[in-house]
Chains A and B, each alone.
Chain A
Amino acid sequence: MMKETDIERIVEHLGGRGEDLPETAGDSRSEATRWKELDRIAGMMRDEPVIGTPAGLEELVMARVRAQRTSWWRAVAKVLLQPRTVSFDPLRALRSPISGQECSFYFIMVGVFYAVLSIVLMIGFGELGTTIAAPGWVRWQPQIALITAGCMVAIGLYLLKDGKTALRMARIGALVYLGFAFLNGIIVSLKWDIPVSAYVSLLSAIIGLPTGLFLIRTIQNCGKRYA
């Protein structure tokens, strides 16, 4: 019985167009004959003429490639996941011109933050609903956070186009966001006269005002490239 390592060593030489098999293959007469037979079978396969491809195969493939439609989720995944050579530096973004892609990144990140916040608020208000009846405007806070998230991500994706129109839209979006965040903080504290409302409005102001100012500043710096 041959060792597996010897078999592996001999197999490498099979079908090698007249190449002699290693010595190990000929330990006994019957073994040598068997290996020669395997070598000939391998050679038969190796010497088989190359089969041609059917005519028109390339055209058939290309017709199917042309007919391929990109689904919306694939397109979004492509935009979001494709590798980019962009560095993100929020402090530099406040001082010097930045690209549309970097600006887009900040908007998308704010969107992600609000998406998470909306989930937290939904869970929180769900628990709170059984003990404290919150007024209408306050109960809408999770949905407001969710809509803010959607708008921010949409602006971010639009900014990937890196054009003047996208920048104008982003500027309007950031101003609306800033104003709304400020008003939301005031309305919540006026509508809900319990100590927790102070925390909600404080949170809204702490998050909203600096974020809004940061986004406006990055848009200004992004716009400098077109000046």
Chain B
Amino acid sequence: MKQIDEGEIIGRVLGGDREAFAALVDAYKGPVFRLAFRMTGSTQDAEDLTQETFIRGFQSLGRFRAGERFFPWLYTISLNVIRNHLRKAKAQAEDSGGKGVLEAADPRSDPTEAAIGREQGRRMQGYLLRLPVPVREAVILRFYEGMSFEDITSVTGDTLSSAKMKVYRGLEKMRTMMEADGFSAPE
């Protein structure tokens, strides 16, 4: 992620310079897209939700408080957009399980390694989508995005204890599902 002076950019956008918003989009499109993708399992949905997140962020920028960290603020918007989408679509995790992983580009250069990795990723995504939404959020933020528990609480609004327990329950459920499928994690 590029280092940018968020405060200055936000000031410029609020002052009427809409083009300055491109710097924020450029800096945060990756994490926002990845979060949406992991939550929905679909590249198309993730792309739409990423656009919607940034539009909501742009419209709400006037309410952004100076001194606040932009990234958790944007992530909170993103989670709300994704939750609404999931609620509306009432998407059954089993129905869409893993289809997005196949659509997404795999950055590994070795084709064999990429194929194995894709299969593993597809399975993991399938298990992930079978988790309840709040638990899925916590697991994704913690392991796919590598966020600290403190940052997770500021995004989801959970307490520290609750965030940790969600992550634990998520892992435990995934382990049970993997065991039932006979799919074991590599050593």
Q: Do A and B come from one complex?
A: yes
Contact pick for B104, options A34, A51, A64, CB 8 Å: A51
Q: In terms of DSSP, what is the predominant structure of the interface of chain B? A: helix
Most chain B CB within a 10 A radius of its CB, from A43, A58, A66: A58
* Contact across chains for B55 and A61 when beta carbons are under 8 A apart: yes
Size category of the binding interface on chain A: 35 or more
Please report the C-alpha to C-alpha distance between residue A50 and residue B34 in the assembled complex, in whole angstroms.
8
| Distance to closest chain B CB from A218 (angstroms) | 28
A120 at the interface (CB under 8 A from B): no
Considering the complex, give the chain A residue whose CB is closest to the CB of B66. Answer: A83
* Contact across chains for A58 and B164 when beta carbons are under 8 A apart: no
* Contact across chains for B165 and A65 when beta carbons are under 8 A apart: no
* Contact across chains for B120 and A44 when beta carbons are under 8 A apart: yes
B5 at the interface (CB under 8 A from A): no
B62 at the interface (CB under 8 A from A): yes
A37 at the interface (CB under 8 A from B): yes
**Which B residues between 150 and 169 are near A, CB-CB below 8 angstroms?**
160-161, 164-165, 167-168
Please report the C-alpha to C-alpha distance between residue A101 and residue B105 in the assembled complex, in whole angstroms.
54
Partner-A contacts on B (CB < 8 A): 14, 18-19, 21-22, 25-26, 29-30, 33-34, 37, 43, 47, 50-51, 54-55, 58-59, 62, 104-108, 117, 120-121, 124, 139, 142-144, 146, 149, 160-161, 164-165, 167-168, 171-172, 174-175, 178, 185-187
Partner-B contacts on A (CB < 8 A): 4, 7-8, 11-12, 14-15, 34, 37-38, 40-46, 48-54, 57-58, 60-62, 64-66, 68, 78, 81-82
